[in-house]
Amino acid sequence: MAATKPDNASSTVAALRRSFDSGLTRPLSWRRAQLVAFKSLLRQGEDELVGAMRADLGKPALESRLTDLSFVAAEIDVMLRHLDAWTRPEHVRVPLAQRPGQATIIREPLGVALVVAPWNYPVHLLLLPMAAAIAAGNCVVGKPSEISPRTSAALAKLAPRHLDPRAVAIVEGGPEETGELLEQRFDTIFYTGNARVGRIVMEAAARHLTPVTLELGGKSPALVDADADVDVAARRIAWGKFLNAGQTCVAPDYVLVHERVERRFLDALERTLRAFYGDDPHRSRDYARIVNDRHFERLSGLLATTSGTIAFGGGQDRAQRYFAPTIITDVPPGDPLMDDEIFGPILPVLRVADMDEAVRYVSSRAKPLALYVFAASKSTVDRVLASTSSGSVGVNLTVQQLAIPGLPFGGVGASGMGAYHGRHGFETFSHRRAVFSKPTLLDPPVQYPPYTKIKEWILNKML
């Protein structure tokens, strides 16, 4: 894998800063051309990128196109369609005491941005924030994950063929290269990954007082009430959980199911998994693999140490990094499966007496990136929303809230800070600059000293 040497990180950032300072990235015509170039990269590099993700993650081709390539292309279409409106000055009402005058908010680019991406959706989670940074008029460094090396290499090769190298750079490599990048002064840093590295990013950013956006994870719960459509709930939870072999930041990490429908739900899950992947998911062309040996061993260790019962699945093939879709029941609260985000195809199903118990369980833990509630009763859904906190919520669905460009995607508390998608991504990479201007033809003396009694009376009336 080619890598930018650590001693080149400073020169890379310096070159991008010179480009930004020259005004290269500010014209809307340049931004639009670069967004179109992103689409060209995705279209012309489709086969290479799909093949790379297949090699890195065992991703089915259709899954790669839907969750990585098409997703990013659709978001870029939104940017192109609305860029004029997003960049238009926003007029603000001026209070009587400050009239005459005009107040506006103008969006200006922050400067040079760093985007550090993870390995699980290696195209989507690198190119989408990079495109948002370009839409806002910035220069940007993209750092793909070394854990998906083939996709990283493909992106590093394709980017300079399509994107303006004066304003866009891809830096490959591992922790050493990432650390060297974090030593540089950026104007904003966008990181997607785990909380441990998120803290390192924040510490590095603090040295330069650089703003950060952190898209982290957490144990996203799915709540299934007694009145839920159990078959639909099982299908949608299974799809969201086992997409990409569970290696999705907003995948349902565990299920809290009402005791009255637990058995029906488990039976429906088993039927669903057989329908999705057949009796032997190992042979399914539609089921991904674990990204590397380290993560495979981590998941294998979780399964070996759990006190729960394997209700379905559990099969493994280390040589192919195959880990079967696995359902675990009777999991005690202190079980290793319930400590950290699983990030793999193991789904604990916990029985609760009612939704109040489920809400108490969720609220006693760190705020998750996503929360899913399956219920027919609107009052139940409203109660869950009012009593919990999460980055996003899916009602009778999983994962698909990400596909709505108008909704902000981001975490809260330990699951992250800041948001993107649609206009929210444009705003993340923009500074909202306040501008107030007054005419000079009128300059009433009432606002200036000395403050006579009549001036005080007038000013008090105006306040």
Please report, for the domain that includes residue 178, its CATH number.
3.40.605.10
CATH number of 307's domain:
3.40.309.10
Tokens representing 304?
A: 């070996």
Q: Based on the residue annotation, tell me whether 139 is a catalytic residue of this protein.
A: no
Q: Which of 381, 403, 425 is the C-terminal boundary of a domain?
A: 403
* Same domain membership, residue 166 and residue 292: no
* Same domain membership, residue 269 and residue 159: no
* Same domain membership, residue 243 and residue 210: no
pLDDT at residue 444 in the model: 84
DSSP 67: I
Q: Following CA atoms 132, 201, 218, 308 in sequence, which dihedral angle do they give, to the nearest 10 degrees?
A: 140
* Same domain membership, residue 345 and residue 430: no
pLDDT at residue 3 in the model: 43
* Same domain membership, residue 227 and residue 208: no
Flag whether 285 is in a domain: yes
* Same domain membership, residue 286 and residue 204: no
* Same domain membership, residue 249 and residue 128: no
Flag whether 176 is in a domain: yes
pLDDT at residue 463 in the model: 75
Flag whether 150 is in a domain: yes
pLDDT at residue 24 in the model: 98
* Same domain membership, residue 137 and residue 29: yes
The single residue of 215, 262, 341, 427 carrying the catalytic annotation is: 215
pLDDT at residue 2 in the model: 40
Burial class (CB in 10 A: 0-12, 13-18, 19+), 39: middle
* Same domain membership, residue 181 and residue 82: yes
Distances (CA, A) of 23 to 17, 19, 159, 186: 10, 7, 21, 17
pLDDT at residue 1 in the model: 34
* Same domain membership, residue 209 and residue 258: no
Q: pLDDT tens digits, the chain, 463 residues: what are they?
A: 344 444 589 999 999 999 999 999 999 999 999 999 999 999 999 999 999 999 999 999 999 999 999 999 999 999 999 999 999 999 999 998 888 899 999 999 999 999 999 999 999 999 999 999 999 999 999 999 999 999 999 999 999 999 999 999 999 999 999 999 999 999 999 999 999 999 999 999 999 999 999 999 999 999 999 999 999 999 999 999 999 999 999 999 999 999 999 999 999 999 999 999 999 999 999 999 999 999 999 999 999 999 999 999 999 999 999 999 999 999 998 899 999 999 999 999 999 999 999 999 999 999 999 999 999 999 999 999 999 999 999 999 999 999 999 999 999 999 999 999 999 999 999 999 999 999 998 888 888 999 999 989 988 888 7
Tokens representing 351?
A: 């029985």
Flag whether 424 is in a domain: yes
DSSP 414: G
Written as one string, the DSSP assignment of 369-411 is SEEEEE-S-HHHHHHHHHH---SEEEES-SSGGGG-TTS-B--
Flag whether 367 is in a domain: yes
Written as one string, the DSSP assignment of 187-227 is SEEEEES-HHHHHHHHHHHHHTT--EEEE-----EEEE-TT
Flag whether 451 is in a domain: no
The single residue of 46, 139, 249, 341 carrying the catalytic annotation is: 249
* Same domain membership, residue 107 and residue 249: no
* Same domain membership, residue 419 and residue 306: no
Q: Which domain holds residue 354?
A: 221-403
Q: How many CB atoms sit inside 10 A of residue 428's CB?
A: 23
Flag whether 17 is in a domain: yes
How many structural domains is the chain composed of? 2
pLDDT at residue 240 in the model: 98
Flag whether 409 is in a domain: no
